[in-house]
Homo-oligomer: A and B are copies of this chain.
Amino acid sequence: MDELLIVTTGGTIDKVYFDDKSDYQVGEPQIGRILQELGVAFRFTVIPILRKDSLHVTAEDRELMRATIAAQPTRHVLVTHGTDTMVETAKVLATIPDKTIVLTGALNPARFRGSDAEFNIGTAVGAVQSQPGGVWIAMNGRVWDPARVRKNVAANRFEALG
Protein backbone atom coordinates (compact mmCIF):
# COMPACT_ATOMS: atom_id res chain seq x y z
CA MET A 1 0.00 0.00 0.00
CA ASP A 2 1.67 3.20 -1.16
CA GLU A 3 -1.41 5.37 -0.93
CA LEU A 4 -4.45 5.49 1.33
CA LEU A 5 -7.69 7.36 0.71
CA ILE A 6 -9.28 8.54 3.95
CA VAL A 7 -12.92 9.64 4.04
CA THR A 8 -14.12 11.29 7.25
CA THR A 9 -17.79 11.56 8.21
CA GLY A 10 -17.76 12.70 11.86
CA GLY A 11 -18.68 10.64 14.93
CA THR A 12 -17.30 10.42 18.44
CA ILE A 13 -13.69 10.19 17.23
CA ASP A 14 -13.82 13.86 16.21
CA LYS A 15 -15.84 15.22 19.11
CA VAL A 16 -14.45 18.26 20.88
CA TYR A 17 -15.37 20.28 23.92
CA PHE A 18 -16.00 23.98 23.65
CA ASP A 19 -17.17 25.39 26.93
CA ASP A 20 -19.53 25.08 29.86
CA LYS A 21 -22.49 26.29 27.90
CA SER A 22 -22.29 24.12 24.79
CA ASP A 23 -22.52 20.40 24.34
CA TYR A 24 -19.93 18.25 22.77
CA GLN A 25 -19.70 18.92 19.07
CA VAL A 26 -18.19 17.09 16.13
CA GLY A 27 -15.08 19.06 15.23
CA GLU A 28 -12.27 18.91 12.68
CA PRO A 29 -11.28 15.41 11.54
CA GLN A 30 -8.44 14.20 13.79
CA ILE A 31 -7.05 11.37 11.66
CA GLY A 32 -4.80 13.43 9.36
CA ARG A 33 -3.04 15.11 12.28
CA ILE A 34 -2.66 11.77 14.07
CA LEU A 35 -1.10 9.98 11.09
CA GLN A 36 1.22 12.91 10.40
CA GLU A 37 2.46 13.06 13.98
CA LEU A 38 3.06 9.30 13.92
CA GLY A 39 5.20 9.56 10.79
CA VAL A 40 3.53 6.89 8.69
CA ALA A 41 5.38 5.53 5.67
CA PHE A 42 2.58 5.90 3.11
CA ARG A 43 0.90 8.81 1.33
CA PHE A 44 -2.66 9.64 2.30
CA THR A 45 -5.41 12.01 1.20
CA VAL A 46 -8.22 13.06 3.54
CA ILE A 47 -11.65 13.86 2.07
CA PRO A 48 -13.87 15.32 4.83
CA ILE A 49 -17.37 14.54 3.50
CA LEU A 50 -19.55 14.91 6.58
CA ARG A 51 -19.28 16.07 10.18
CA LYS A 52 -22.18 14.24 11.83
CA ASP A 53 -23.14 12.06 14.71
CA SER A 54 -23.80 8.75 12.96
CA LEU A 55 -27.37 8.69 14.27
CA HIS A 56 -28.04 11.58 11.90
CA VAL A 57 -26.43 9.99 8.84
CA THR A 58 -29.13 9.59 6.17
CA ALA A 59 -29.54 7.32 3.16
CA GLU A 60 -28.49 10.30 1.01
CA ASP A 61 -25.33 10.71 3.09
CA ARG A 62 -24.50 7.04 2.55
CA GLU A 63 -25.07 7.35 -1.18
CA LEU A 64 -22.73 10.36 -1.19
CA MET A 65 -20.04 8.32 0.61
CA ARG A 66 -20.50 5.45 -1.82
CA ALA A 67 -20.28 7.67 -4.89
CA THR A 68 -17.28 9.62 -3.58
CA ILE A 69 -15.29 6.49 -2.81
CA ALA A 70 -16.28 4.75 -6.05
CA ALA A 71 -15.10 7.79 -8.03
CA GLN A 72 -11.56 7.67 -6.60
CA PRO A 73 -8.97 5.42 -8.21
CA THR A 74 -7.28 4.54 -4.88
CA ARG A 75 -7.58 0.86 -3.99
CA HIS A 76 -7.17 1.18 -0.19
CA VAL A 77 -9.80 3.22 1.64
CA LEU A 78 -10.26 4.05 5.33
CA VAL A 79 -13.53 5.64 6.52
CA THR A 80 -13.91 7.27 9.95
CA HIS A 81 -17.52 7.12 11.10
CA GLY A 82 -19.69 7.32 14.22
CA THR A 83 -20.15 3.92 15.83
CA ASP A 84 -23.95 3.77 16.15
CA THR A 85 -24.67 3.23 12.45
CA MET A 86 -21.23 2.16 11.22
CA VAL A 87 -22.48 -1.32 10.32
CA GLU A 88 -25.33 0.12 8.25
CA THR A 89 -22.96 2.32 6.25
CA ALA A 90 -20.57 -0.60 5.76
CA LYS A 91 -23.32 -2.58 4.09
CA VAL A 92 -23.99 0.25 1.64
CA LEU A 93 -20.29 0.56 0.77
CA ALA A 94 -20.12 -3.20 0.15
CA THR A 95 -21.47 -2.63 -3.33
CA ILE A 96 -18.24 -0.87 -4.40
CA PRO A 97 -16.09 -3.32 -6.40
CA ASP A 98 -12.30 -3.72 -6.55
CA LYS A 99 -11.36 -1.97 -3.30
CA THR A 100 -10.48 -2.80 0.28
CA ILE A 101 -12.48 -0.47 2.51
CA VAL A 102 -12.17 -0.40 6.31
CA LEU A 103 -14.46 1.65 8.56
CA THR A 104 -13.31 2.68 12.00
CA GLY A 105 -14.13 5.23 14.67
CA ALA A 106 -13.85 5.54 18.42
CA LEU A 107 -15.88 4.95 21.56
CA ASN A 108 -14.06 7.87 23.18
CA PRO A 109 -13.05 11.10 21.41
CA ALA A 110 -9.47 11.13 20.07
CA ARG A 111 -8.69 14.15 22.24
CA PHE A 112 -9.36 12.18 25.45
CA ARG A 113 -6.56 10.56 27.40
CA GLY A 114 -6.97 6.84 26.99
CA SER A 115 -9.08 7.16 23.82
CA ASP A 116 -9.25 4.11 21.58
CA ALA A 117 -8.86 6.34 18.49
CA GLU A 118 -5.15 5.77 17.72
CA PHE A 119 -5.38 2.05 18.35
CA ASN A 120 -8.49 1.71 16.15
CA ILE A 121 -6.90 3.69 13.34
CA GLY A 122 -3.88 1.37 13.67
CA THR A 123 -6.10 -1.69 13.41
CA ALA A 124 -7.83 -0.25 10.34
CA VAL A 125 -4.50 0.65 8.70
CA GLY A 126 -3.15 -2.85 9.39
CA ALA A 127 -6.30 -4.47 8.00
CA VAL A 128 -6.74 -2.31 4.89
CA GLN A 129 -3.38 -3.35 3.45
CA SER A 130 -3.69 -7.02 4.52
CA GLN A 131 -7.22 -7.89 3.42
CA PRO A 132 -7.52 -8.88 -0.23
CA GLY A 133 -10.68 -6.82 -0.79
CA GLY A 134 -14.16 -6.06 0.49
CA VAL A 135 -15.55 -3.95 3.33
CA TRP A 136 -14.51 -4.39 6.96
CA ILE A 137 -15.09 -2.81 10.35
CA ALA A 138 -12.13 -2.29 12.68
CA MET A 139 -13.37 -1.82 16.25
CA ASN A 140 -12.39 -3.29 19.65
CA GLY A 141 -9.25 -4.80 18.13
CA ARG A 142 -11.18 -6.97 15.70
CA VAL A 143 -11.50 -6.82 11.94
CA TRP A 144 -15.18 -7.65 11.52
CA ASP A 145 -17.24 -8.70 8.52
CA PRO A 146 -20.13 -6.17 8.64
CA ALA A 147 -22.62 -9.02 8.17
CA ARG A 148 -21.49 -10.64 11.41
CA VAL A 149 -21.10 -7.80 13.90
CA ARG A 150 -23.25 -5.36 15.82
CA LYS A 151 -22.70 -2.56 18.29
CA ASN A 152 -23.93 -3.56 21.72
CA VAL A 153 -25.13 -0.10 22.70
CA ALA A 154 -25.66 -0.88 26.38
CA ALA A 155 -22.15 -2.32 26.78
CA ASN A 156 -20.70 0.31 24.40
CA ARG A 157 -18.70 -2.22 22.38
CA PHE A 158 -18.82 -4.22 19.17
CA GLU A 159 -19.53 -7.94 19.38
CA ALA A 160 -20.16 -10.90 17.09
CA LEU A 161 -23.76 -11.38 15.99
CA GLY A 162 -25.20 -14.26 18.04
Contacts and interface: CB of A to CB of B under 8 A. Distances in A.
Interface stretch (A65-73, A88-96, A123-131): A123-131
A83 interface: yes
B112 A126 contact: no
B112 A55 contact: no
Nearest to A156: B19
Interface in A123-162: 123-131, 136, 138, 140-143, 153, 156-160
A123 B41 CA distance: 13
A136 B126 CA distance: 11
State how many copies of this chain the complex holds.
4
A158 B113 contact: no
Interface residues of A, number: 58
Interface in A3-34: 11-12, 15, 17, 19-21, 23-24, 34
16 contacts: A17-B109, A17-B112, A20-B53, A23-B24, A39-B107, A41-B140, A113-B113, A118-B122, A119-B122, A122-B123, A122-B125, A123-B125, A124-B126, A125-B126, A126-B126, A126-B127
